[in-house]
């Protein structure tokens, strides 16, 4: 899988070199290309934003650098082209799994008040939001989407983690414990040390139900 990110702030994506994401890239499982939109502007001062027609606060990202960059990185429109924005359709795990099946993705990161609508209409396949809150730019959402999708690439995660996840029945995760058995007077639940796997599975399911009822009752309906 290849992900190409279009951004005015390419330095932000050094964050994805750490940890599992860095390992996946080094192993050649996954390629991340970060493209600076400023390299594609035809403006003599390298400007990529301008005032909004109709007035209002802030600036709007110009269509030209975006169109030129997308045509340069994906000339035959093989990639799924995604615009991260607070008014996009909300991303969920089902959609992450579908996107992980794509050969390549192009992620457009908006800034300022957003992007000229013509760039979206002409060059974008879908507009996605990572949640109902507002950020200063689409870079963090693009990193979130990249991380979510990369987990499904062969060899990035252990098969056991993904199997466990698919058996969690849409509930939140049960609590986890590791050594020591006692920490500040609190001990690991006896059942987890019993070796009785049928009882452990039953306990974990009850715990998963309880935490889901408390934090996300909407998931039970």
- Residues of this chain that bind ligand 4H6 (CB under 6 A): 84-86, 110, 113-114, 129-131, 133-138, 141
Closest distance between ligand 4H6 and the C-beta of residue 13, in Å?
A: 15
> Which one, of 116, 149, 131, lies nearest residue 50 by Cα?
116
C-alpha to C-alpha distance for 220 and 218, rounded to whole angstroms: 5
Q: Which is nearer to ligand 4H6, 141 or 204 (CB)?
A: 141
Q: How far is the CB of 5 from ligand 4H6 (least distance, A)?
A: 13
Using an 8 Å Cβ cutoff, are 31 and 39 in contact?
no
CB nearer to ligand 4H6: give 131 or 170.
Answer: 131
Cβ distance to ligand 4H6 smaller for residue 4 or 85: 85
* Spatial CB neighbours of 6, under 8 Å, sequence gap ≥ 6: 35, 37, 66, 69, 70, 73, 106, 107, 108, 109
Q: How far is the CB of 115 from ligand 4H6 (least distance, A)?
A: 6
Q: Give the nearest residue (CB) to ligand 4H6.
A: 110
Q: Which is nearer to ligand 4H6, 129 or 146 (CB)?
A: 129
Q: Name every residue whose Cβ is closer than 8 Å to that of residue 82 and which is 6 or more positions away in sequence.
A: 99, 105, 106, 107, 108, 124, 125, 126, 127, 128, 145
In the complex, what is the shortest distance from the CB of residue 126 to ligand 4H6, in angstroms, rounded to a whole number? 13
């Amino acid at each position: 899988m290849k992900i190409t990110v279009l951004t005015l702030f390419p330095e932000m994506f050094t964050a994805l070199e750490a940890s599992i994401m860095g390992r996946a890239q080094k192993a050649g499982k996954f390629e991340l290309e970060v493209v600076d939109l400023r390299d594609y502007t035809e403006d003599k001062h390298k400007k990529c934003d301008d005032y909004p027609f109709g007035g209002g606060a802030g600036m709007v990202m110009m269509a030209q650098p975006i169109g030129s960059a997308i045509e340069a990185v994906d000339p035959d429109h093989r990639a799924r082209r995604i615009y991260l924005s607070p008014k996009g359709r909300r991303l969920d795990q089902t959609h992450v799994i579908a996107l992980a099946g794509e050969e390549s993705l192009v992620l457009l990161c908006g800034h300022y008040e957003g992007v000229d609508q013509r760039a979206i209409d002409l060059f974008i396949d879908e507009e996605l939001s990572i949640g109902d809150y507002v950020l200063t730019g689409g870079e963090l959402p693009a990193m979130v989407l990249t991380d979510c999708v990369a987990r499904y690439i062969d060899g990035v995660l252990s098969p056991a983690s993904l199997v466990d996840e698919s058996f969690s029945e849409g509930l939140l995760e049960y609590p986890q414990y590791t050594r020591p058995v006692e920490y500040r007077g609190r001990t690991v639940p006896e059942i987890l040390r019993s070796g009785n796997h049928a009882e452990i599975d039953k306990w974990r399911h009850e715990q998963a139900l309880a935490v889901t009822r408390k934090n996300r009752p909407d998931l039970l309906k």
